[in-house]
């Protein structure tokens, strides 16, 4: 076989090679770089060519969690639309995609993940804990969405922390107020015996202390002022 024919034969074989060949280092690096840059078109193109939407980065983070944590919304949308996506893939901290969407206030991603049966009430830290600690302009809307989807309002983390505790320490006033109005119990204690008001005090958030104290008084009107 002449050199020209060998070259043509090699090109033909390369063109016919299975798309699994995209797993090579270059494509892998391109995929995660596209996620980092929020290049949704590039992510979608690689996915169409057969790249695994469940691929993990060098740290073991699922691609979708990488996109959501970095708030790469176009890349996340491309991954969520991919066939074969496993929405409950977790990272080493047991974080799910819905948890990261909740933290970032990414309502469109959260809705799409819920339609794909993402677990609203996973054990341990929950999406509602993450939503309650968010500070984006859509934080309250995210909490409302999760509650509409039957998120347990007083979910206890592994150390007994509730979403309300997270809200008064890390989140926004409208989120804390929403949780209280929707029935969150301000008197619950975590494993260290701390209540939501203790969380607010530790964060030196006087407005949150007042908000929780008022909620406690409404629940226990005969116990006097907190």
Instruction: Return averaged pLDDT per consecutive 10 residues of the chain, 226 residues in all.
Output: 46 36 71 98 97 96 98 98 97 97 98 98 98 97 98 98 98 98 98 98 98 92 51
- pLDDT of the residue at 173: 96
- Rounded CA gap, 148 and 194, in Å? 28
Q: Please state whether the predicted TM-score (pTM) of the whole model is above 0.75.
A: yes
Intervals of CATH 1.25.40.20 along the chain: 25-94, 120-220
- pLDDT of the residue at 213: 97
Cβ–Cβ < 8 Å for 98, 119: yes
Instruction: Return the CATH superfamily for domain 120-220.
Output: Ankyrin repeat-containing domain (1.25.40.20)
Assign a CATH topology to domain 25-94: 1.25.40
Q: Where are the alpha helices (DSSP H) in 49-162?
A: 63-69, 73-80, 97-104, 107-115, 127-132, 139-148
Alpha-carbon torsion angle 168, 172, 178, 184, nearest 10: -20
């Amino acid at each position: 076989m002449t050199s020209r024919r060998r070259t043509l034969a090699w090109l033909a074989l390369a063109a016919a090679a299975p798309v699994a060949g995209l797993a090579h280092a270059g494509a892998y690096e391109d995929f995660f770089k596209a996620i980092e840059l929020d290049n949704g078109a590039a992510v979608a193109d690689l996915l169409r060519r057969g790249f695994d939407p469940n691929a993990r980065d060098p740290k073991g983070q699922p691609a979708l969690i990488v996109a959501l944590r970095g708030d790469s919304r176009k890349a996340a949308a491309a991954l969520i639309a991919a066939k074969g996506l496993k929405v409950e893939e977790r990272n080493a901290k047991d974080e799910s995609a819905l948890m990261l969407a909740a933290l970032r206030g990414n309502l469109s991603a959260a809705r799409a993940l819920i339609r794909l049966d993402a677990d609203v009430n996973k054990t341990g830290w929950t999406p509602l804990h993450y939503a309650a600690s968010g500070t984006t302009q859509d934080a309250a809307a995210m909490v409302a969405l999760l509650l509409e989807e039957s998120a347990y309002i007083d979910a206890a983390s592994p150390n007994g922390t509730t979403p309300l505790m997270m809200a008064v320490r890390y989140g926004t006033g409208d989120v804390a107020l929403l949780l209280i109005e929707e029935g969150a119990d301000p008197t619950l204690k975590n494993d260290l015996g701390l209540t939501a008001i203790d969380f607010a005090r530790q964060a030196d958030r006087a407005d949150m202390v007042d908000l929780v104290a008022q909620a406690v008084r409404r629940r226990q009107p005969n116990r006097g002022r907190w």
